[in-house]
Structure 1
Amino acid sequence: MLYAATLQVKVTYSSWQRVTITCITTCTLSNPNPTYIWYKNGQRLDERTSPQYKYSVYTNSKDSYSCAVKGHEDLHSPAVCVQGQSCNRVTYTKRRICVLKGSTVDISCTYVGYYSTTSSFWFRSDKSTPEDLTRDPGYAGRVKCTGTYRGPFTLRITDLREEDSAEYRFTFKTHNIEWGHSFPGTTLSVTGLQVKVTPAAEGQKTLTCSTTCTLTDNPTYIWYKNGQNVQGVSSPMYSISSEDADSYFCAVKGHLSSPTVYKPKNPSVSVSPSGEIVEGSSVTLTCSSDANPPVQSYTWWYKKNGGDYQSMTGPQHVFSHIQSSDSGEYYCESQNEMGTDRSGTINMDVKYKPKNPSVSVSPSGEIVEGSSVTLTCSSDANPPVDKYTWYKKNVTSPKASGQSYSITNIISEDRGEYYCEAENKYGRLNSSSVFVDVLYGPRNTSVSVSPSGEIVEGSSVTLSCSSDANPPVDKYTWYFQNETFLNGCGQMYNISNFKSVDSGHYHCEAWNRRGSRNSTALMIILPVKQTSVLTAAVGIIVVVLVLILCLSGLMWFRKKASISTSDTRDTSENVQGDSSPVYENVSSMSTASTAAQTAATVDQDDVHYARVHFSHSKNQEVPLYSTVQLCKPQKQDVQYDAVKFNLPSAATRPTAAQAAEEDFSEIYSRVNKPRRPEHNKPRTKKT
């Protein structure tokens, strides 16, 4: 390091008219080839580089010279005269001065002007244009200049401030020269007292009353604890316990005291921006505290949503995209060399729109048709949800509003997916849908037959049972002529070889765990061949004709017998027997289903019945029913022919032996024939 004392100018006479001045140093420079700067009467000359550290001048010069090394211009050598001590020069009493803030300082110098001085003043070197300090508003009332030519010329500044720290220079003018403004002057440092805290031995810390520079004077120190003078301590250092949380300051006798040092106090937390905190926004927490020395570290403690306290560091904590999970209690701790203190706790409440809405169903078990069901919507939101709306999937209009939606006497049409919409001032969100399944027993049970056309003897016939049920039907029972099939089970029943004995009424019963329901009966009849129908018809006609002839003969014989026996017989026997029906079903081949033609009540074939009553003995009663069905496209008219034979009167009744031989029978004849137009329709004829 280069000090001012190491540079000086040496004058050597080289001839009677010229002298040589040399810039020399008493130590080795770090740069072996430095650049030298020469000053003449305080004016900076052109730079001269090594080895031109020498300068030649006339011996009769009245000027003064000094030198410096480039880069250290403030550390120039003292000015020297070329000839004796009679030359233009300024010599400062002190090149550096360090004083306390609020005190008074004297900056002085001596100057010599070879010619009469016309003006002189002090100025600050950091000003762009030299300005007399006595005219500077910043020094008004605080600056005073004293001194005479060739005597000390002094600048006094009172009530020093830290901003008074600067380099002060003196300049003067004569008729021939102006002392240069670039010539270094006196550097003034204004410092305040401050207490530094450093750890010492274990359990101890040291307080030091310090300044930013070394005071020019030899001060006497005074210590104060909590505002009270500590007796017997006059050194700049004072040791205290590391747990000591008292406040301290120091002073220099006759001068202002240092600021008080103390641990952080009244730390506080601020939130930016103020107002409501909305999820997704940027939020900054700032911890501030009054402390001296300044806070060395900040520690944040937070407890999110009731969890354990955790920590983070720094005077600020930024949530660039704050979440609802960041809600909780926060406080900070401030620490400096004197101790630690904590702030009060703030509760950070993050607002957000509804999230995770869900639907619950009560009762939670199976829902049976006719019962009552309540749907409840719940959602996490801050502030809480203030509006709930209920929807059924694939239905545009809302079903209801409110947190709960009740369906009393629920029916199968209420079955479906339901969801709710939760809304607060920050937004809305739909829940996932929940399926409401309404259970009910079988209904609309019916039987269908396959093939649907004409059934041929020996063919395969399949009966199918269908029913609407929830849960689906799990058991089917088949019935024939209202009797349960022993081997009838399953949704379908197959008759692989259909015979006439299989003709009749069929129905099914559908079962699930909610109940059962019977279908309507389906009648299936196996049609007979056309030749059989014609044969039966011819046979019936022949029988009818024979019976008519027989009856006519019998009546003639009975009449004759009654006349011959009227005197001798008082009583007669008249026996009319009950009949047992005998059915014959004859159907022609048609394109429609035989079963449908027989069972349907609409488009029913015309039916013709012929009934004949005979008197006969009980053991010979034979009622005969004949049914003939013909192919037709439309509904047929029904005609009845009834023939009745009455018994003769008592006078003409045959004997018991004759009566025993008589046959009294009922004959029904049914003929199905195609419908004809009204004017061709045959009339009903009674015989």
Structure 2
Amino acid sequence: MLPWLLLLICGSSSLSCVPTGIPVSDVSLETRPTGGWVMEGNKLVLICSVVNATGNITYLWYRGALGSNLETKTQHSLSAEFEITEVKRRDAEQYYCAADNGYGPVLSELVSITVRVPVSRPVLTSGDSGIQAVLGDLVELHCEALRGSPPIFYQFYHENVILGNSSAPSGGGASFNLSLTAENSGNYYCEANNGQGAQRSEVVTLNIPGRQSDDPLRSPPMPVLQESSYLNSPGPEQIQSVYENVNVVRSDEIYSLVYHIQQELEPAAAQHMKTHGASEVSRVFSEIYSKPRKEDITDMDYEDTI
């Protein structure tokens, strides 16, 4: 008997008729891209297939273990597709499908989908020292992409030359420690990548000044020529020369040793010195000598006067 005639007889009689076709079997769900993961913003295709079946097959797709129905299609084929055109992070879930050609639905296994987020543009910072760093400082370069699924791979650059790399298996940022030398001045940037293309940070410029030496022989203090002070001075009102008492025990005389700090002469004074010659110079320096002072040392200890 022809199949269409059998269907006609079953439909017109009160007898229950059993379908004579082949029920669906071996239902499976596959994804494209394969591997169970997809990047955020990309397309995800859920493919429901059967191995054996006859007639039209109704396919159903479900999200989550509790079965929220996403789509239903009926077609005469052993497979059907459902697309999520632009995947979002909330689409990271478990999925399954069912197929039915009149004998009852048959379910597929659960398939887990992971949605990976591309890295955002990373931010490069240079720690607490920043652009105030000087030679010998240890500077921490920290690179971090605020968005992106782990693991994230970071690379650090100085003037387009790779300094080093680091990874963040659980997400977040990574650091690179740099001991500063004179050659470390210049431009720095970093890159972040989690398999969907690298993103580059903005450039950070480090200007590294030299550090002044603490060695007094290499960095002697500059003398102050504008003002002088006294040693063993009886009062603060004398501010033109520097002298100290030379305690020579000889009769009752005490001499003062005078230091004169010669300053650069004004042009007019220099011309005057040139005109009047050495005799004027001699007169000037003769006035520096201090007259001996008389002092009663009768009651002073000899040791104290030394």
TM-score, structure 2 normalization: 0.49
Identify the structure with bigger relative contact order (alpha carbons < 8 Å, sequence gap 6+): 2
Question: 1 or 2, which has the higher strand percentage?
Answer: 1
Q: Greater Rg, structure 1 or structure 2?
A: 1
